[in-house]
Amino acid sequence: MAGYILDTDHISALDRGSDGGRRLASRLASVASDTVATTIVTYEEQMRGWLAYVATLRGIDQQVGGYAKLLRMLRLYCSTPVETFDAAAAEHFQRLWLMRLRIGTMDLKIAAIALARDAVLLTCNRKDFGLIPGLTCDDWVND
């Protein structure tokens, strides 16, 4: 069970290697690696985006670069535990859905997984995730 769940924006920050991504990597290095995971929903979001991006590349040089970026993302996911959307997460999701929170479905699923694992969600989007009762959030990219 993860102590920390990386939201999609935190995975993106790690991938980009920005100042925020470097801050995040530094903080992650200070916690036990077996306490950090991401979610299958984040994986879905990222893969949809990367596959759509690669599909737009026309020049062979662009495709070489695009596939290199896709491979880098695959390797990141291969080295990061991925929490699933299981029955426990589905129960939390249904409860949250019935609350009619004005939050996107994918974010509700990510929050449900974090709640089911009793994990801290590491996200830049505390505005939306802060609306979810019982969810603990922190931002290691900007703080």
Cβ atoms 137, 119 nearer than 8 A: no
Whether pLDDT at 1 is above 60: no
Q: How confident is the model at residue 17 (pLDDT cuts 50, 70, 90)?
A: confident
Give every CB contact of residue 123 below 8 A, 6+ residues apart in sequence: 7, 9, 10, 129, 137, 138, 139
- Order of strands, edge to edge, in the sheet holding 36-39? 82-83, 36-39, 4-6, 120-122, 137-138
| pLDDT tens per residue, range 62-88 | 999 999 999 999 999 999 999 999 999
In the block, residue with structure tokens 């984040």: 42
Got the DSSP string for 80-102? S-EE---HHHHHHHHHHHHTT-S
CATH placement of domain 4-40+82-138: 3.40.50.1010
H/E run at residue 38: strand 36-39
pTM greater than 0.85 (yes/no): yes
Which of the pair, 27 or 143, is modelled with greater confidence? 27
Residue 44, strand partner residues? none
Continuous segment of H or E residues that includes residue 114: helix 105-117
* Dist CA 70 CA 122 (whole Å): 23
